[in-house]
Amino acid sequence: MPSTEEPQSSAATKNPRRRNGSADRSNPLVSGDKGGVAGDKVFNGLALAAGVTILLVLAFVAIFLTFNSVGAVYTEEEGLNLGAFFSYAYPLLLGSLMASAIALMIATPVAVGVALYLSHYAPPKLSRTIGYVIDLLAAIPSVVYGAWGMTFLAPALVPLYDVAHEYLDFIPFFAGTPSQTGRTVLTGGIVLSVMIIAIITAVSREIFMQTPKLHEEAALALGATKWEMIRTAVFPFARAGIISGVMLGLGRALGETMAVALVLSVGPLTFSLISSGNSTIPAEIALNFPEAPPGSERQAQLIAIGLVLFLITLVVNMIARWIVSRHKEFSGAN
Amino acid sequence: MTSSTRTAERPSNPSQEPQGSRRNKLAQRPLPPWTWVVVLVASAVVAAALAALFTDFHLGFVFVTTLVLFLVTSYVVTRSRAGRRKANDELCRNLVYTAFILALIPLVSLLWSVTSVGMRGLTEPGFLTSDMMGVSGTTDAESVQEGTSVQGGIVHALVGSLMITLAAAAISVPIGLLTSIYLVEYSRGGPLARAITFFVDVMTGIPSIVAGLFGVAAMSWFLGVLNQAGLISSSRSTMGITAAIALSVLMIPIVVRTTEEMLRVVPNELREASYAMGVRKWRTITKVVLPTAISGIASGVTLALARVFGETAPILVTAGFVVNVNWNLFQGWMTALPVYIYRQFQNPINPSLSEPSYQRAWAAALVLIFVVMMLNLIARIIAKVFAPKTGGR
């Protein structure tokens, strides 16, 4: 009872005020709320400004990086000098691509397998718990992965590299003296693969779960085994999703800094996966930027390769998004 | 049961026999369900024997050989007893399970190594309450030679991480929240909204080190402008706030994406009910829409905090690293916890005796993982506990 009385009394105190003006009576809530009009405008403006800020920030990222990296390719004395920058950047770029390629080759099959396990093989209750566990993989900071790769994984891989060197010497990837610390580009790629498994798994699992149940049951009703069902109903539906997940993983692997900076003992470019050497763009920046004097040509050089990395990841991510958006049109029919 | 009735039927109806036997092959289970256990144990035994013969019992070798033997043997056994299709099915199932185990190995190994090594450093007296002032190569060497406890702690790194993360959140939460409000409430899919959505997607893919470079470049430009205007005389861009700006480049897109998702699931009926009572749009948003979505928004922000707390590269290039506590975001270098770990591994205090540095680094890594896990857990709890009542819908 008291709860109903209270609003009544407050309404009673408000009522006399409303009766005062006849204009207020026609639409008392709107016209009586003069402060609200300004509030609406301010709020709308704020929201718009925030959105524009994001666009500005991204534009500034591109502008600042470009502006600051001019010093790497152009100096007052020498003029435009693209060749020097190119010969500096391409071993780093190749190193980045090599580490990412190794990471993708390991991570993609494992991640698709784990996603399949979670969506189609594991008991549903267990699958949710394991989903959390896989999310944990993504939550662990990259520096911890780097530390683990450097102190635990690298020494454990040394005997393997020795064996690979002994028997697979004829393949250029396993030529050269094997590293005695194990801190090679292959180790770096393996650490990266562990880091991107979580991303690819998350995306693929999501898309596997969305496979139309009717397609799956139709396949099973025709006598398909579970694998045949997955091959004929799940994979065709999920192909675009898997590819975009892999692309997102590639973007992450290309931009990953700390894991590589810690695991790799950097050196000049070499195609041998088991001897020390190679470097990646992010590792190069992280290792040298704190020592580079502000405003120097060295800093400009580092910012310039940062810009190259930015553009590459931009393209990779845009392709991934494009695949997803193209897929959306088709899945509308399902 | 079925097989016994079928065998009983067979003699009474001999003309049906070929068809019946074919049906049998599909319907009955040709292999007992425990086959895989036998195959697995057998391959493990063979692998162990091989390992003892050719290597000095290397565990990794045993594991890989067991796996390969198991996959091959179970395929061959199923193929010979149940046919090609069953064998393929079996092989792929085993491969899926193998992938799952392979993915778990690094996680278990990592958590185990961090906990086992990190606990020792964490239990050193004063690890959580002291900084690295006065810790040098000689003190580290002394602690190893005399067996005393390792000096030095992480309190300066904790302070730095806390300040930088909070500053980054203070920048990115309002911007992210307002942007998602603009996307969901104000623009109904206009060109600007589509551009923002697209570029937020692009921003999620920015490498963290590039965000750090942007922070440095933007701050030194900004300071240069202020210098020319004669407002300040300092031009050192290495400070906490630069790191916060760099981190907010990474954090804003996460906040926008999660908040946008949460605002979109707020039922339109709630908004319309509010409008029908004559409530203004901004009051509707602040009093109806946001409170309904607050649990999702809070959990999204917490997850973004967890992500940003673990970032190393942008802080390394923007805020540097020091040995003492610095509470001031706007002056002087700052150490964050991930940068502390990185420096201890990469440049041990005593280059010839890296053991004490590694011990500190692992302990700090344990603290870092603990904080990040806690943030993740809190995010889940917030999402569960404060979720709006669905009202039986």
Q: Write out the two tokens for A227.
A: 């694998």
Q: Do A145 and B365 touch (CB under 8 A)?
A: no
pLDDT confidence of residue B235: 66
Closest CA to B50 of B65, B68, B71, B72: B65
Residues B141-194: tens digit of each pLDDT: 777 777 777 778 888 899 999 999 999 999 999 999 999 999 998 887 788 888
* One domain for residues B164 and B304: yes
Q: Smallest CA–CA separation between A230 and chain B, in Å?
A: 10
Is residue A153 a part of any domain in this protein?
yes
Q: Kindly determine whether residue B209 and residue A316, on different chains, have CB atoms separated by under 8 Å.
A: no
Residue B99 falls inside a structural domain:
yes
Q: Which residues of A touch B95 (CB under 8 A)?
A: 113
Question: What's the CA gap between A78 and A74, in Å, rounded?
Answer: 7
In a domain, B297, yes or no: yes
Å between A289 CA and nearest CA of chain B = 6
Residues B95 and B168 reside in one and the same domain: no
State what percent of residues in chain B have pLDDT above 90. Answer: 20
- Say if residue B173 is in the same domain as residue B92: no
Provide the number of structural domains found in chain A: 1
Q: What is the mean pLDDT of residues B237-259?
A: 90
Query: If you measure CA to CA, which chain B residue comes closest to A146?
Result: B342
Q: Which two tokens stand for residue A124?
A: 């549903």
Kindly report the nearest CA distance between residue A79 and chain B, in angstroms: 23
* Mean pLDDT confidence for B189-209: 86
Task: Please tell me which residue, A258 or B368, carries the higher pLDDT value.
Answer: B368
A77 CB burial (10 A radius; 0-12, 13-18, 19+): exposed
* CATH number of the CATH domain containing B267: 1.10.3720.10
Domain assignment present for residue B265? The answer is yes
B279 and B214 fall within a common domain: yes
Contact B202 A318 (CB under 8 A): yes
Give the CATH number of the domain where residue A106 resides.
Answer: 1.10.3720.10
Does residue A18 form part of some domain? no
Q: Pick from A37, A54, A227: which is nearest to B196 by CB?
A: A54
Least confidently predicted of A128-137, B155-164, B273-282, B285-294 = A128-137
**What is the per-residue pLDDT for A324?**
74
Cβ distance of A282 and B313 shorter than 8 Å: yes
C-alpha pair distances (Å), B261 with each of A81, A86, B230:
48, 43, 45
* 3-state secondary structure labels for all residues of B61-112: HHHHHHHHHHHHHHHHHHHHHHCHHHHHHHHHHHHHHHHHHHHHHHHHHHHH
CB contact under 8 A, A43 and B369: no
- Measured between beta carbons, the chain B residues lying within 8 angstroms of A317 are 201-202, 204-205
> Could you please report the per-residue DSSP string of B101-152?
HHHHHHHHHHHHHHHHHHHHHHTSTTTTT--STT--HHHHHHHHHS--PPP-
To the nearest whole Å, the CA of B386 is away from the closest chain A CA by 20
> What are the tens digits of pLDDT across the range B33-56?
777 888 888 888 888 888 777 766
Does A43 map to a domain? no
- Taking CB atoms and an 8 Å limit, are B174 and A50 in contact across chains? yes
Residue pLDDT, tens place only, B1-26: 444 444 444 444 444 444 444 445 55
**Structural domain contains residue B393:** no
Q: Which residues of B fall within a CB distance of 8 Å from A251?
A: 205
In this prediction, residue B393 carries a pLDDT of 44
Longest dimension (CA), chain B: 109
Bridging pattern class, strands A74-75 and A79-80: antiparallel
Q: Ramachandran region of residue B320, left (φ > 0), alpha (ψ -120 to 50) or beta?
A: left
Secondary structure class of B55 (helix, strand, coil) = coil
- The pLDDT averaged over each successive group of 10 residues in chain A (334 residues) is 41 44 48 66 88 90 86 71 81 89 93 92 85 80 90 85 79 75 87 90 87 91 91 88 87 86 80 78 86 80 89 86 68 38
User: What percent of chain B has a predicted confidence (pLDDT) above 70?
Assistant: 89
CB pairs under 8 A between A and B: 281
What are the pLDDT digits (tens) for B52-102?
777 666 777 788 888 888 888 888 888 887 788 888 888 898 999 999 888
| Distance in Å, alpha carbon of B254 to nearest chain A alpha carbon | 12
Chain A residue with Cα closest to B90: A227
- Using CB atoms, which residue from B95, B96, B113 is nearest to A152? B113
Q: Note down the domain range covering A160.
A: 88-331
Contact B182 A228 (CB under 8 A): no
Q: Which domain holds residue B76?
A: 20-122
Distance CA B301, CA B371 (A): 15
Instruction: Calculate how close chain B gets to A234, using CA atoms only, in Å.
Output: 14
Nearest CA in chain B to A65: B214
| Whether B289 and B349 share a structural domain | yes
- Residue B296's identity, in one-letter code, is G
| B327 found inside a domain | yes
Residue A44 and residue B92: Cα distance in Å, rounded? 55
Among A57, A148, A282, select the one facing B110 at the smallest CB separation: A148
Judged by phi (left if over 0) then psi (alpha if -120 to 50, else beta), residue B31 lies in: beta
Residue B276 pLDDT more than 90? yes
Contacts of A151 in chain B (CB under 8 A): 113, 345, 358
Residues of A whose CB is below 8 A from B365: 143-144, 147
Q: How far apart are CA B74 and CA B165, in angstroms?
A: 52
Cβ of B368 and A144 within 8 Å?
Answer: yes
- State the pLDDT at residue B20: 45
Does residue B280 or residue A74 have the better pLDDT? B280
pTM: 0.82
Distances (CA, A) of B44 to B39, B53, B55: 8, 14, 15
Per the prediction, chain B carries an average pLDDT of: 82
In chain B, the number of structural domains is 2
In a domain, B242, yes or no: yes
Best of A18, A34, A40, A43 to mutate (most B CBs within 10 Å, chain B) = A43
Taking alpha carbons only, the member of B296, B270, B297 closest to residue B283 is B270
Supply B106's token pair.
């690094």
Residues B376-380 have a mean pLDDT of: 88
Instruction: Compute the distance between CA of residue A39 and CA of residue B330 in angstroms, rounded to an integer.
Output: 33
Nearest-CB residue to A227 (from B88, B106, B285): B88
The confidence band for B203, taking pLDDT boundaries of 50, 70 and 90, is confident
Longest CA–CA span in chain A (Å) reads: 99
Residue B175 confidence (pLDDT):
93
Strand locations in B215-305, DSSP E? Answer: none
A243-252, B195-204, B225-234, B243-252: range with lowest mean pLDDT:
B225-234
Same domain for B161 and B93 = no
Sequential DSSP letters for B288-327: IIHHHHHHHHHHHHHHHHHHHHT--HHHHHHH---SS---
Residues B78 and B160 in one domain: no
- End-to-end C-alpha distance for chain B, whole angstroms: 47
Residue B12 lies in a domain: no
* Assigned domain for B149 exists: no
